[in-house]
Amino acid sequence: MARVFDGEFAITIRFGERYRFSFDSPFAWLNGRRHDGVDWAMPVSTPLLPPVPCRVTDVRRYQTGHGLHQRLESLDKQWRFLYAHLSEIRATVGREVSPDTVSALSGGARGMFGAGSSKGPHLHFEMFKRVAGGYAAVDFQQLKKAIVAFAA
């Protein structure tokens, strides 16, 4: 089953929405950028899972922006995923992770390690589908069924 965590959490900002108030950045409302992912409000240290079998391709920590973040690529290279504002990395670069592997723990509480510009506990998640010439951001909510079929 395609999921990025167990349980149900409220979406605080959707794919494609203009930033208004957002946990992502106290200044987000100033720039009016489009949101390329989805934010779920969730407690710090919520276990995060890969939607499909993946390899960890990148782990970085910025003081601002995404803070501590992890990038995954599906083993068939059709999908890429980004998890941001993390409090802990459980799978380092190069590791293969299954949908049952906890790859990282969420974070995002203002000022905590890994939060970057986040000002409240949440997960910022982006996903990208392989297209001609690169990868395009897609809406996890809209494509969830497709991924379920893909993962089956």
Q: Which stretch binds Zn ion (CB under 5 A): 41-49, 100-108, 123-131, 140-148?
A: 123-131
28: three-class secondary structure by DSSP: helix
Q: Which stretch binds Zn ion (CB under 5 A): 34-42, 44-52, 56-64, 92-100?
A: 34-42
Q: Which stretch binds Zn ion (CB under 5 A): 22-30, 42-50, 64-72, 140-148?
A: 22-30
Phi then psi for 69, rounded to 5 degrees? -140, 160
Tokens describing residue 47: 């276990």
Q: Does 126 bind Zn ion (CB under 5 A)?
A: no
First and final CA of the chain: distance in angstroms? 7
User: Could you say which of 2, 4, 15, 24 contacts Zn ion (CB under 5 A)?
Assistant: 24
Distance CA 87, CA 67 (A): 9
Site for Zn ion, rule CB under 5 A:
24, 39, 124
